[in-house]
Chain A
Amino acid sequence: MKYLWRLLPLSLILLMSGCGVQNLSALDPQGPVAEMQYSLIQLSLYIMIFVLVIVFAIYIFVLYRFRERPGDTHIPKQVHGNRTLETIWTTIPILLLLMLAIPNVMDTFTLADVSVNEEGEESEDGEMDHVVVEVMAHQFWWEFTYPDYDITAGQDMYIPTDTRIIIELQSSDVQHSFWVPALAGKQDNVPGIQNDMWFEAPEEGVYMGKCTELCGPSHWLMDFKVIAVDPDTFETWASNMAEPPSNVTEPEGEVAVDGRGVFEQSCISCHAVGDDGGNIGPNLTNYGEREVLAGYMDPTDENLEAWLRDTQEYKPGNEMPNFDHEAINDEEMAALIEYLNELKILEEE
């Protein structure tokens, strides 16, 4: 019986960890940073449940014991206070808070430490022991630049597993916030200021990321993905992003060649494939491998056409114009979609 009390918070934690979708929920951490934060959440929750149990016990007892009974008209003793009691309930909370404050201060400094070991930058097998990613937030999409590789990607952030990822956050317009709950808590993308953070992903997987600072009408659609792959695949991905394979640079199918033409006519001033094109919208070099379209839609042909025809309907307030049938006719649209779907850099032909 006396151990049952200990199980109460534990069962709550079990209940909590059952909540949510894996790779999205902060209650199901997938990396050391999220785990550190999760254990801090657990610690604070245990302390707080301890407080709640005490307060609720006194509360229920008092309400039951001292309720007015029918016919009772006595006047209670008018008590002024009790110094001993008041000292106790001032001191104990201070001790409880110290139990939480000390690990919190340590973790706060650990999380802010984005320094890397300059000497050990490359480990013995020639792989980087950390990867820097500059994260530029835009209304309403994400741009990921890897300065050490000289590449830029949009929406999908590829990272190698078991490697420290140093994130440098910036914004090109209003304030955004970068949050991948399963890997790490958020930091803000503040215009004019760079914020740094770090995380690691031990397991391969696709982790959901979200913008958490109100940034306009499509704030709720400003999602992205963090895709953790093994370090070799990451190196392949990075070098193919820098120098795309021939299926991307020189499409072979007849329709895809036409599609490239449409792309060059209508899209290239804002979107780049390889080095070729503008940087106003997301880089599309690996569009064919996107998890989702426009940050949240299934990447089907129908959705892609619907999106291109009426981007303002699907993501109101974004910078991309609508392309009606005068701008791109049905045949051109089909060709463009074919071309875009073939933009794959990880699968060799």
Chain B
Amino acid sequence: MSYEKAQSKNVIWDWLTTVDHKKIGIMYLAGGAFFFALGGLEAILMRIQLMFPEFTFVQAQTFNELLTMHGTTMIFLAAMPLLFGFMNFIIPLQIGARDVAFPFLNALGFWLFLFGGILLNVSWFVGGAPDAGWTAYVPLSSESPGHGLDYYVLGLQIGGAGTLIGGINFLVTIINMRAPGMSMMRMPLFTWSSFVASMLILFAFPALTIGLLLLMLERLFGATYFAVDFGGNVIIWQHLFWIFGHPEVYILILPAFGIFSEVLATFAKKRLFGYSAMVFATLIIGFLGFMVWAHHMFTVGMGPVANAIFAVATMAIAVPTGIKIFNWLLTLWGGRIQFTTANLFALGFLPSFVMGGVTGVMLATSAANYQFHDTYFVVAHFHYVIIGGVVFGLFSGTFYWWPKMFGYRLNETLGKWFFWLFLIGFHLTFFVQHFLGLMGMPRRVASYLPGQGLDSMNFISTMGAFLMTVAFILLLVCIFVSTKNRTNVADPWDGRTLEWTTPTPVPEYNFAQTPLVRELDAYWHEKYEGDGKMKAAEPLEDIHMPNGTILPVVMSLGLVVAAFGLIYLVHPLTIVGFAITFGAMFVRSIKEDHGYHIPVEAIKRDKEEG
């Protein structure tokens, strides 16, 4: 393909075939936002059902499907893809690269996630969604009637492959594609934390994949790994799931920590306090994240030795997390704090997350955990860390990077309304749940009986959920209303890192000349110590770009076809599906594709226009 041809593609075809990390990032954000809304809808239906005791808004079976899909959707299809969206768009810009290391794989990862997510949700329309909780404990999951759990194992295997591919891609990108002078210890914290999160993906997802594979073999082909009557063991599933599941929460929270580190430093107008301590704290959290999975299993009978060890190991994570909290506070100390919406979410995160963190230590107390476990106390805890941490991070990142991604700032007035409503709604929903749990309300209950002292707090919790819903709608209004503010400012926040050196909208090659990095916070350094421009690390030359391709879509679609064949045991369909996927892989392997070059003249033209 020539440069001219690459410029004149049909819009839809362009997005379907793109391998540009920025477009893939935006598609991740759009897909993640769709599933976030869907998971939110599931949540609000559950909160309505729990508004009154013995309410019959939805049936118990439907409730179990809602709770399963809410958890699965929010973790796998909303939080992770939204973070992947920012990682895709921002990391190459932050490290001064023109794209990720494997643009084709990047596209494949996205399409696998999207098709896996859609496949999972098809189950709603064909006889019932999975109903065994997002943790899918056997034998409830392995013996669950209908096809819901089949959609779960196959949808997550396809989506999980996409995540694994994405994680490997980020690892290679960050190791190999940093601009000259960008040593590891000069990388922005968002890149660092995404790097550690990608390592966790690399080691954690295989455990899930194995678990899902075993569960699939058990459900579809009568294997007996978990069947007690045939000498199977149900605890194996729990270990496999949580060896993945616990690092998973760090996969989510670490990139969010990265976003807060960028946002707080930018809006306090100060360098991040204790940068190297922050980096090592991130690494230690990532490492310890693999050592503590069994704290989800204190009550399954591992014995006091294992319980004590995992309890102490879990408490240890509070130390590096505390280091991060104090470093953020000291970053603000002595700064000039600007209360933009992006920063409000970062500032709202600090107390909210600390509250979630301290209940985490309480939960780690194994002997007390026997009371907390599987009650609403746990529900409150993980929503405090996931909403107070991850979701606040996503919203902060949204307001922070939106001008770079879309060329306009989000309306600050609406943004602040959104922030306050969401913050109040969030605490209203989940604070009371700590008490509900200790007062005797187990989690995952489709309703509760009157006269057990649980009525009023459940009602309050539901009111909070309504407030969060209103806030989310306000965000959508904010995004829509703000489109008229298009200004294409390159550096709206007086940014510190390389992404703000690129023009807005970011050209497809990102940097006309690869920048030379001379300090941490490279752009800030050039602005306040130099002449305000990045030094170029290379002469202006033709830029080599990869061609777009439809093959990632075809490969992913083939796997979906194969999945339907497996779910309904229609073997010819399975074979056709795999043939499509492997055929596309074959084509990809033998077809020579040298990409194309963007001529120097076009780059110069862009520069003059910019």
Binding site for B on A (CB under 8 A): 16, 19-21, 24-27, 34, 36-38, 40-41, 44-45, 47-48, 51-52, 55-56, 58-59, 62-63, 66-68, 72, 74-82, 85-86, 89-90, 93-94, 97, 100-101, 104-105, 107-112, 169, 173-175, 177, 179, 181, 184-188, 190-196, 208, 210-220, 223, 296, 316-317
Is the pair A66, B336 in contact by a Cβ cutoff of 8 Å? Answer: yes
Which 4 pairs from chain A and chain B are nearest by CB? A185-B370, A20-B439, A192-B228, A220-B445
Is the pair A216, B304 in contact by a Cβ cutoff of 8 Å? Answer: no
Contact of B362 (CB < 8 Å), options: A45, A112, A173: A45
Is the pair A76, B269 in contact by a Cβ cutoff of 8 Å? Answer: yes
**What residues of chain B lie closer than 8 Å to A38, measured between beta carbons?**
371
Is the pair B301, A220 in contact by a Cβ cutoff of 8 Å? Answer: no
**What residues of chain B lie closer than 8 Å to A195, measured between beta carbons?**
300-301
Q: A25-B438, A79-B270, A97-B361 are in contact. Are A85 and B326 (CB under 8 A)?
A: yes
Is the pair A48, B332 in contact by a Cβ cutoff of 8 Å? Answer: no
A215's nearest neighbour on chain B, judged by CB, is: B140
Is the pair B354, A55 in contact by a Cβ cutoff of 8 Å? Answer: yes
Q: A20-B453, A26-B439 are in contact. Are A191 and B139 (CB under 8 A)?
A: yes
Kindly state the separation between the CA atoms of A68 and B268 in the bound complex, as whole angstroms: 9
Kindly state the separation between the CA atoms of A24 and B359 in the bound complex, as whole angstroms: 22
**What residues of chain A lie closer than 8 Å to B319, measured between beta carbons?**
90, 93-94, 97
Q: A208-B440, A216-B140 are in contact. Are A40 and B447 (CB under 8 A)?
A: no
Is the pair B299, A59 in contact by a Cβ cutoff of 8 Å? Answer: no
Kindly state the separation between the CA atoms of A185 and B333 in the bound complex, as whole angstroms: 43
**Residue interface bits B346-376, CB-to-A below 8 A is 1, else 0:** 0100110011001101100111111111110
Contact of B299 (CB < 8 Å), options: A94, A187, A194, A223: A187
Is the pair A104, B440 in contact by a Cβ cutoff of 8 Å? Answer: no
In the assembled complex, 10 residue pairs joining A and B whose CB atoms fall closer than 8 Å, in A order, are A19-B435, A24-B453, A55-B350, A66-B333, A75-B528, A82-B273, A186-B370, A190-B234, A193-B234, A208-B440
Is the pair A219, B444 in contact by a Cβ cutoff of 8 Å? Answer: yes
**What residues of chain A lie closer than 8 Å to B64, measured between beta carbons?**
214, 216-217, 219
Kindly state the separation between the CA atoms of A16 and B307 in the bound complex, as whole angstroms: 27
**What residues of chain A lie closer than 8 Å to B268, measured between beta carbons?**
66, 76
State whether the Cβ of B339 lies closer than 8 Å to any Cβ in chain A.
Answer: yes
Is the pair A109, B60 in contact by a Cβ cutoff of 8 Å? Answer: no
Kindly state the separation between the CA atoms of A211 and B375 in the bound complex, as whole angstroms: 10
Kindly state the separation between the CA atoms of A66 and B368 in the bound complex, as whole angstroms: 40
Is the pair A212, B443 in contact by a Cβ cutoff of 8 Å? Answer: yes
Q: A21-B452, A175-B234 are in contact. Are A75 and B447 (CB under 8 A)?
A: no
**Residue interface bits B308-319, CB-to-A below 8 A is 1, else 0:** 100110011011
Q: A26-B440, A85-B326, A316-B59 are in contact. Are A59 and B307 (CB under 8 A)?
A: no
The distance from the CB of B360 to the nearest CB of chain A, in whole angstroms, is 10
Q: A74-B336, A81-B276, A101-B311 are in contact. Are A188 and B300 (CB under 8 A)?
A: yes
Is the pair B449, A174 in contact by a Cβ cutoff of 8 Å? Answer: no
Is the pair B440, A21 in contact by a Cβ cutoff of 8 Å? Answer: yes
Residue from B268, B300, B347, B359 having most chain A Cβ neighbours under 10 A: B300
**What residues of chain A lie closer than 8 Å to B449, measured between beta carbons?**
223, 296
**What residues of chain A lie closer than 8 Å to B435, measured between beta carbons?**
16, 19-20, 27
Kindly state the separation between the CA atoms of A20 and B440 in the bound complex, as whole angstroms: 8
Kindly state the separation between the CA atoms of A58 and B445 in the bound complex, as whole angstroms: 39
Is the pair B234, A191 in contact by a Cβ cutoff of 8 Å? Answer: yes
Number of interface residues of B (CB under 8 A): 90
Is the pair B140, A174 in contact by a Cβ cutoff of 8 Å? Answer: yes
B333's nearest neighbour on chain A, judged by CB, is: A62
State whether the Cβ of B569 lies closer than 8 Å to any Cβ in chain A.
Answer: no
Is the pair B439, A66 in contact by a Cβ cutoff of 8 Å? Answer: no
Is the pair A175, B137 in contact by a Cβ cutoff of 8 Å? Answer: yes
**What residues of chain B lie closer than 8 Å to A37, measured between beta carbons?**
367-368, 370-371
State whether the Cβ of B127 lies closer than 8 Å to any Cβ in chain A.
Answer: no
**What residues of chain B lie closer than 8 Å to A104, measured between beta carbons?**
308, 311, 365-368
**Chain A, interface SS category:** mixed
State whether the Cβ of B277 lies closer than 8 Å to any Cβ in chain A.
Answer: yes
Q: A44-B362, A66-B334, A80-B275 are in contact. Are A59 and B351 (CB under 8 A)?
A: yes
The distance from the CB of B20 to the nearest CB of chain A, in whole angstroms, is 35
The distance from the CB of B483 to the nearest CB of chain A, in whole angstroms, is 28
The distance from the CB of A172 to the nearest CB of chain B, in whole angstroms, is 10
State whether the Cβ of B325 lies closer than 8 Å to any Cβ in chain A.
Answer: yes
Kindly state the separation between the CA atoms of A93 and B317 in the bound complex, as whole angstroms: 10
**What residues of chain B lie closer than 8 Å to A208, measured between beta carbons?**
440, 452
The distance from the CB of A57 to the nearest CB of chain B, in whole angstroms, is 10
The distance from the CB of B302 to the nearest CB of chain A, in whole angstroms, is 10
**What residues of chain A lie closer than 8 Å to B60, measured between beta carbons?**
217-220, 316
The distance from the CB of B457 to the nearest CB of chain A, in whole angstroms, is 9
B 246-274 contacts with A by CB, 8 A: 268-271, 273-274
B303's nearest neighbour on chain A, judged by CB, is: A112
**What residues of chain A lie closer than 8 Å to B368, measured between beta carbons?**
37, 40-41, 44, 104, 107, 185
Is the pair A101, B300 in contact by a Cβ cutoff of 8 Å? Answer: no
**What residues of chain A lie closer than 8 Å to B374, measured between beta carbons?**
177, 186, 212-213
Is the pair A59, B438 in contact by a Cβ cutoff of 8 Å? Answer: no
Is the pair A97, B315 in contact by a Cβ cutoff of 8 Å? Answer: yes
**What residues of chain B lie closer than 8 Å to A188, measured between beta carbons?**
299-301
State whether the Cβ of B342 lies closer than 8 Å to any Cβ in chain A.
Answer: no
**What residues of chain A lie closer than 8 Å to B275, measured between beta carbons?**
80-81
Q: A68-B336, A97-B316 are in contact. Are A185 and B139 (CB under 8 A)?
A: no
Is the pair A40, B354 in contact by a Cβ cutoff of 8 Å? Answer: no
B269's nearest neighbour on chain A, judged by CB, is: A76
**What residues of chain B lie closer than 8 Å to A77, measured between beta carbons?**
270, 334
**What residues of chain A lie closer than 8 Å to B228, measured between beta carbons?**
191-192
Kindly state the separation between the CA atoms of A142 and B143 in the bound complex, as whole angstroms: 20
Is the pair A24, B301 in contact by a Cβ cutoff of 8 Å? Answer: no
Is the pair A63, B332 in contact by a Cβ cutoff of 8 Å? Answer: yes
Kindly state the separation between the CA atoms of A190 and B299 in the bound complex, as whole angstroms: 10
**What residues of chain A lie closer than 8 Å to B327, measured between beta carbons?**
81, 86
State whether the Cβ of B183 lies closer than 8 Å to any Cβ in chain A.
Answer: no
Kindly state the separation between the CA atoms of A182 and B338 in the bound complex, as whole angstroms: 49
The distance from the CB of B306 to the nearest CB of chain A, in whole angstroms, is 10
A78's nearest neighbour on chain B, judged by CB, is: B271
**What residues of chain B lie closer than 8 Å to A82, measured between beta carbons?**
273-274, 330
Given A20-B439, A181-B440, A187-B301, 10 more pairs with CB closer than 8 A: A19-B439, A37-B371, A44-B368, A52-B358, A66-B332, A86-B326, A105-B308, A186-B370, A210-B440, A219-B444
State whether the Cβ of B492 lies closer than 8 Å to any Cβ in chain A.
Answer: no
**What residues of chain B lie closer than 8 Å to A179, measured between beta carbons?**
442
Is the pair B312, A210 in contact by a Cβ cutoff of 8 Å? Answer: no
Is the pair A108, B439 in contact by a Cβ cutoff of 8 Å? Answer: no
Contact of A19 (CB < 8 Å), options: B235, B354, B453: B453
Contact of B371 (CB < 8 Å), options: A41, A97, A110: A41
Is the pair A219, B323 in contact by a Cβ cutoff of 8 Å? Answer: no
Q: A44-B368, A76-B334, A82-B274 are in contact. Are A19 and B299 (CB under 8 A)?
A: no
A185's nearest neighbour on chain B, judged by CB, is: B370
The distance from the CB of A307 to the nearest CB of chain B, in whole angstroms, is 15
State whether the Cβ of B180 lies closer than 8 Å to any Cβ in chain A.
Answer: no
Kindly state the separation between the CA atoms of A107 and B444 in the bound complex, as whole angstroms: 28
Kindly state the separation between the CA atoms of A241 and B232 in the bound complex, as whole angstroms: 36
Contact of A59 (CB < 8 Å), options: B308, B329, B371, B448: B329
A105's nearest neighbour on chain B, judged by CB, is: B308
B 187-208 contacts with A by CB, 8 A: none
State whether the Cβ of B559 lies closer than 8 Å to any Cβ in chain A.
Answer: no
Kindly state the separation between the CA atoms of A20 and B59 in the bound complex, as whole angstroms: 26
Is the pair A24, B439 in contact by a Cβ cutoff of 8 Å? Answer: yes
**What residues of chain B lie closer than 8 Å to A45, measured between beta carbons?**
362
Kindly state the separation between the CA atoms of A55 and B139 in the bound complex, as whole angstroms: 44
Kindly state the separation between the CA atoms of A112 and B299 in the bound complex, as whole angstroms: 11
Kindly state the separation between the CA atoms of A331 and B445 in the bound complex, as whole angstroms: 37
Q: A16-B435, A62-B333 are in contact. Are A67 and B370 (CB under 8 A)?
A: no
Kindly state the separation between the CA atoms of A67 and B332 in the bound complex, as whole angstroms: 9
A195's nearest neighbour on chain B, judged by CB, is: B301
B133's nearest neighbour on chain A, judged by CB, is: A214
Contact of A316 (CB < 8 Å), options: B61, B303, B375: B61
